[in-house]
Structure 1
Amino acid sequence: MCAPPHGRAGICATLGGVTSASARPRTPAFSVPPRLIATDLDGTLLRDDKSVSERTIAALAAAEAAGIEVFFVTGRPARWMDVVSDHVHGHGLAICGNGAAVVDLHGDAGGHRFVKIRALEPASALDVVHTLRAAAPGTSFAVERTGGLHHEPTYPPLQLDPGESVAPAEKLLAEDSDVADQPVLKLLAHHPTLVPDEFLTLARAHAADKAAITRSSPSALLEISGPGVSKASTLALCCAERGITPQEVVAFGDMPNDVEMLTWAGTSYAMGNAHPDVLAVASGHTVANNEDGVAIVIEEILAGL
């Protein structure tokens, strides 16, 4: 999830007649030993206060010590990764921006370094802007580039940091923009009154042929990437480079931007607080993020090795 500063509205799903917050994990059988764990952050690995619990820290370290790579796969931009940068062991890599970038969190001078960028072409982004303005009047936009966020004057303060510049989308995406040399990672679209899932459905109906459109916020905020760019497709590229098959991947998530990744992975877990679409596609269920659902499953995996 690309987390807004005010946290997530709670989603209570029902599993087996009890609320998901109190349900025990449902664990599928592993056809092959896992070689990589891919986990979303907000609403999944992180607790609602954006902390990583001591139990989770220990589980991640134990997985890496057992030879299982851990990849954080998030909608967050790289600059929001400080909360977990100390817990990426060995390779130091994370997938950010819903697959738009692979980032080395142990990069130069203590900062991050972009390893792979799957950009959204500015012309395509502008085409989506015009399409959504017509389909959903009142939509405002922000542009996430490698160097920071830029947004329209009417775009609300949903992000964890202020925008680098404020201007209409046409100017933000112009070829002569001051930051035109920085690739566009995501286009963000916000609507003040539409229900989040309705906004997603509407946007996909009008612009799915132009870009990949998803959501992870409790507000009507859409995250728009280049065609074919998703957490799943970039994770697949990273795994192919390592000779890791989907059957050797265990994935965790909670929101619509995780659906493709959970479907792709050989074994997948929906958090107890997950969106209904996530609960529907995951092969396993665990407890909520505030109950260390990811750590519980990792512990079970390691116990079975």
Structure 2
Amino acid sequence: MTPPTPGPPAPAPSAPRLIATDLDGTLLRGDKSVSPRTVAALAAAEEAGIEVFFVTGRPARWMDVVSDHVHGHGLAICGNGAAVVDLHGGPGRHRFVKIRELAVAAALDVVRVLRAAAPGTSFAVERTGGLHHEPAYPPLHLDPAESVAPAEKLLATDVDVADQPVLKLLAHHPELGPDAFLDLARIAVGGLATVTRSSPSALLEISGPGVSKASTLALCCAERGISPADVVAFGDMPNDMEMLTWAGTSYAMGNAHPDVLASATGRTHTNDEDGVARIIEDLLAGPGITASRPAPRTTAPGRSPTPGTE
């Protein structure tokens, strides 16, 4: 099928102060690389005084792919808002600056209600020191588990890593469709936690109540005196929707999940077509970049999301 042509981009704000971009399916190409064009665009934005935040579902240890491209503050928002990480120092030398953990008691309640609502669900526990998962949890990640045991054991108060905060739970179902599993889980979990997804498979990411890419980005912006109107955001999957809605100007990728298209003020090319870089180039090349209001939020047809990781 021929990819749809992106619609007209939303007008950008005058002198945007911060760019917030998702990674998988957004900034990164399908092979998980950062294209030379994107590298150049990111560097040009920082040189122009625009802060760039990587905002991702990835854990900090998976940030090597962009660690060479951080400038200035060097911060990234990881784990769907569960952590703010300083990437200065390079691969394996990240430092947690802010942690918004999922309380163990709440995590255990989530495991209990999801086991009842969706029998066959398997779980993984993402802590600051690594991933721990159940025997039935599929090998979806890039690194081996630190330990394998039932979720109740992984979350026990007497485990060796009990001093490491829980950043999020991951829940996988072998039979349910991704969106059906997400809808079911949100109803079952209610206010116990925040449930979202970024994978094309039935893999859910579960954070503390109110913890999301958007809420942590809002905290980071408030600390810098940056308002939503000063932010341009990019994303492609349901875990990006709140961030895209919060930002004054936002772009859904050409490969975005259909629901994401309705959350953004504009639309750009796919990740493999350097959609983020194209918009950054336009921002920097605009004649004087005069203030304007974002285009109305409209739903546009989209392609199926490309496979990603968290």
TM-score normalised according to structure 2 size: 0.90
Aligned residue in 2 for 1:47: 29
Question: Is the contact made by 2:64 and 2:91 (CA closer than 8 Å) also made in structure 1?
Answer: no
2:211 and 2:186 mapped to 1: Cα distance?
15
Aligned residue in 2 for 1:8: none
Correspondence for 1:209 among 179, 191, 194? 191
Q: CA deviation at 1:107?
A: 4.4
Aligned residue-pair number: 287
Question: Is the contact made by 1:132 and 1:203 (CA closer than 8 Å) also made in structure 2?
Answer: yes
SS of 2:262's equivalent? Answer: helix
SS of 2:52's equivalent? Answer: strand
Judging changes above 3 Å, is the alpha-carbon distance between structure 1 residues 70 and 155 closer, same or farther for their aligned structure 2 residues? same
Counterpart AA for 1:194: L
Q: Gapped runs of 5+ residues in structure 2? A: 290-310
1:36 and 1:201 mapped to 2: Cα distance?
32
Aligned counterparts, 1:25-40, within 5 A: 26-40=8-22
Aligned counterparts, 1:104-183, within 5 A: 104-107=86-89, 111-183=93-165
Question: Is the contact made by 1:271 and 1:293 (CA closer than 8 Å) also made in structure 2?
Answer: yes
SS of 1:208's equivalent? Answer: helix
Question: Is the contact made by 2:67 and 2:91 (CA closer than 8 Å) also made in structure 1?
Answer: no
Q: CA deviation at 1:291?
A: 0.3
TM-score normalised according to structure 1 size: 0.92
Aligned residue in 1 for 2:233: 251
SS of 2:201's equivalent? Answer: coil
Q: CA deviation at 1:109?
A: 8.9
SS of 1:132's equivalent? Answer: helix
Counterpart AA for 1:281: S
Judging changes above 3 Å, is the alpha-carbon distance between structure 1 residues 226 and 79 closer, same or farther for their aligned structure 2 residues? same
Aligned residue in 1 for 2:296: none
Aligned residue in 1 for 2:54: 72
Question: Is the contact made by 1:72 and 1:95 (CA closer than 8 Å) also made in structure 2?
Answer: yes
Aligned residue in 1 for 2:266: 284
Counterpart AA for 1:113: R
Aligned residue in 2 for 1:186: 168
Counterpart AA for 1:19: P
Is residue 293 of structure 1 aligned with residue 275 of structure 2?
A: yes
Q: What does the per-residue CA deviation read over 1:199-230, in whole Å, with 9 as the maximum and x for residues that have no partner?
A: 00000011021000000001100000000000
Q: CA deviation at 1:137?
A: 0.1
Q: What does the per-residue CA deviation read over 1:217-271, in whole Å, with 9 as the maximum and x for residues that have no partner?
A: 0110000000000000000000000000000000000000000000000000000
Counterpart AA for 2:190: A
2:211 and 2:8 mapped to 1: Cα distance?
30
SS of 1:83's equivalent? Answer: helix
1:60 and 1:109 mapped to 2: Cα distance?
19
Fraction of identical pairs, as percent: 79
Question: Is the contact made by 2:130 and 2:146 (CA closer than 8 Å) also made in structure 1?
Answer: yes
Q: What does the per-residue CA deviation read over 1:105-140, in whole Å, with 9 as the maximum and x for residues that have no partner?
A: 014896100000000001100100000000000000
SS of 2:245's equivalent? Answer: helix
